[in-house]
């Protein structure tokens, strides 16, 4: 065992694989619950899309969180993991009829509706089943998040949500429908947000919109501010627990919740990011003309974030104490973008060494693909490897 990893156990497993440290996950969930319990009427939902590994989901469900789903498949995964339908919210710009029907059949808590045509379809499908669907409107607040362009979602140019200008109109349409019940407003401005100022900007926008609604004597029961809290990719050991205290305190201080309103959060990355590592073996160390390459058996098919968002993951050679050298750490996929890091200082590497790509619990295993006819990586929890 070097540091936090059971190396001996790793040696008997086929690489690459994901390793989930359940102590980190449980500590994270405990921190969420203890920070949230300072405030009345706060509710959290785990964004299943960050990681749907059944063993991880089971631990999250035990903590009491609800589930935030963006597809029918995710609703199924949530139900299978034991999340109660009464705590499932369903978002997404393109909900197919079968996915809406699945949500209706389970009687999920709320559909977060992103357009008028979607509202009409939900009303029709609910009518055909003689049901009334709870709906919230996802409003695009035109608030920028200081994060990578591919993961901002709350700008007017993004495809998500209904524009603020159309809010009154869509509410009037919903209020005239028999098979939907308008219960709330939903927002989500982006991901990997570390600047609380971005969340304050959202709070200010929600306050403005609530004032407008109040002027029309409309009071919704639920405000859902989405997720987006970021994690410290640079220092996973020093900062394994995200800034939940500041996060919840920001909303408690800035968002003017009306009496009897519940404030919902949808956290993904912040829940699972730090508990996961991608473990990979060095296949070859190659001396190039200018630099050394450590060629891993993991590629972007296993962890796509560096190739897709130029994301940084801390890389460690967990089986070497040799003097530090600089390596370009690359995968075996036949694409030039299959690079995990350039000029990374690592303990001297040789064939067979194990590398850990840290902070890979969110948007890692779940985004794996079979490109190059590669097998999907497996995921193991520390509980299983004891």
Q: Which residue shows structure tokens 């009334």?
A: 132
> Binding of ligand PLP at residue 115 (CB under 6 A)?
no
167-175 and 196-215 helices, crossing angle to 10° = 50
> Binding of ligand PLP at residue 50 (CB under 6 A)?
yes
Please say which residue, 18 or 355, places its beta carbon nearer to ligand PLP. Answer: 18
> Binding of ligand PLP at residue 47 (CB under 6 A)?
yes
> In the chain, what's the furthest Cα-to-Cα distance?
71
CB of 110 to ligand PLP, least distance (A): 12
> Binding of ligand PLP at residue 341 (CB under 6 A)?
no
- Given the rule CB under 6 A, which of 26-34, 268-276, 284-292, 302-310 is the region that contacts ligand PLP? 268-276
- 68 and 46 Cβ atoms separated by less than 8 Å: yes
- 306 and 339 Cβ atoms separated by less than 8 Å: yes
- Given the rule CB under 6 A, which of 74-82, 194-202, 225-233, 236-244 is the region that contacts ligand PLP? 225-233
Please say which residue, 276 or 299, places its beta carbon nearer to ligand PLP. Answer: 276
And the tokens for 138? Answer: 């996802």
Please list the residues that pair with 264 across neighbouring strands.
43, 224
Distance (Å, whole) CA 201 – CA 182 = 25
Among 228, 299, 331, 361, binds ligand PLP (CB under 6 A): 228
Among 69, 70, 349, 357, binds ligand PLP (CB under 6 A): 70
- The CA-to-CA distance between both ends of the chain, in Å, stands at 12
And the tokens for 222? Answer: 């639920």
CB of 287 to ligand PLP, least distance (A): 39
Among 66, 226, 306, 341, binds ligand PLP (CB under 6 A): 226
3-state DSSP assignment of residue 90: strand
Q: How far is CA 306 from CA 104, 192, 321, 330, 342, in A?
A: 38, 14, 26, 11, 11
> Binding of ligand PLP at residue 198 (CB under 6 A)?
no
> Binding of ligand PLP at residue 61 (CB under 6 A)?
no
Helix (H) or strand (E) holding 127: helix 116-128
> Binding of ligand PLP at residue 266 (CB under 6 A)?
yes
- Given the rule CB under 6 A, which of 20-28, 102-110, 262-270, 374-382 is the region that contacts ligand PLP? 262-270
Beta strand extents in 187-313 (DSSP E only)? 222-224, 262-267, 276-287, 292-296
> Binding of ligand PLP at residue 88 (CB under 6 A)?
no
> Binding of ligand PLP at residue 184 (CB under 6 A)?
no
CB of 56 to ligand PLP, least distance (A): 14
Tell me the Cα Rg of the chain. Answer: 22
Other beta carbons within 10 angstroms of residue 179's beta carbon come to: 18
> Binding of ligand PLP at residue 191 (CB under 6 A)?
yes
> Binding of ligand PLP at residue 364 (CB under 6 A)?
no
Sort strands 339-347 and 378-381 into parallel, antiparallel or unpaired.
unpaired
And the tokens for 242? Answer: 């995200």
- Given the rule CB under 6 A, which of 52-60, 74-82, 265-273, 365-373 is the region that contacts ligand PLP? 265-273
> Binding of ligand PLP at residue 49 (CB under 6 A)?
yes
* Interface positions with ligand PLP (CB under 6 A): 47, 49-50, 68, 70, 91, 188, 191, 226-229, 266-270
């Amino acid at each position: 065992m070097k540091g936090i990893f059971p190396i001996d156990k790793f040696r008997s497993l086929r690489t690459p694989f994901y390793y989930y440290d359940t102590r980190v996950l449980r500590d994270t969930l405990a921190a969420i619950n203890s920070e949230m319990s300072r405030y009345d009427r706060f509710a959290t939902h785990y964004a299943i899309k960050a990681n749907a590994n059944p063993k991880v989901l089971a631990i999250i469900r035990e903590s009491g969180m609800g589930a935030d789903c963006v597809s029918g498949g995710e609703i199924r995964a949530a139900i299978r993991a034991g999340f109660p339908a009464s705590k499932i919210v369903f978002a997404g710009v393109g909900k197919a009829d079968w996915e809406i029907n699945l949500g209706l059949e389970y009687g999920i808590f709320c559909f977060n509706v992103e357009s008028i045509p979607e509202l009409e379809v939900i009303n029709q499908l609910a009518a055909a089943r003689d049901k009334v669907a709870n709906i919230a409107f996802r409003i695009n607040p035109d608030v920028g998040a200081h994060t990578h362009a591919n993961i901002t979602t709350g700008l007017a140019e993004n495809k998500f949500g209904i524009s603020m200008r159309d809010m009154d109109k869509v509410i009037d349409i919903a209020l005239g429908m028999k098979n939907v019940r308008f219960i709330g407003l939903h927002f989500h401005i982006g991901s990997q947000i570390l600047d609380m100022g971005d969340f304050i900007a959202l709070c200010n926008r929600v306050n403005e919109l609530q004032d407008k609604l109040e002027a029309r004597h409309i009071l919704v029961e639920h405000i859902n501010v989405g997720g987006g809290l970021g994690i410290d990719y640079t220092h996973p050991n020093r900062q394994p627990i995200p800034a939940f205290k500041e996060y919840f305190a920001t909303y408690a201080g800035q968002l003017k919740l009306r009496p009897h309103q519940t404030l919902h959060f949808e956290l993904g990355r912040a829940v699972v990011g730090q508990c996961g590592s991608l473990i990979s073996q060095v296949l070859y160390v190659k001396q190039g003309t200018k630099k050394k390459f450590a060629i891993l058996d993991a590629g972007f098919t296993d962890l796509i974030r560096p190739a897709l968002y130029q994301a940084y993951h801390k890389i460690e050679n967990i089986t070497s104490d040799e003097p530090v050298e600089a390596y370009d750490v690359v995968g075996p996929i036949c694409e030039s973008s299959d690079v995990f890091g350039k000029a990374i200082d690592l303990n001297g590497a040789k064939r067979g060494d194990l590398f850990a790509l840290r902070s890979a619990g969110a948007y890692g295993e779940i985004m794996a693909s079979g490109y190059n006819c590669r097998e999907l990586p497996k995921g193991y929890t520390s509980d299983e490897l004891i």
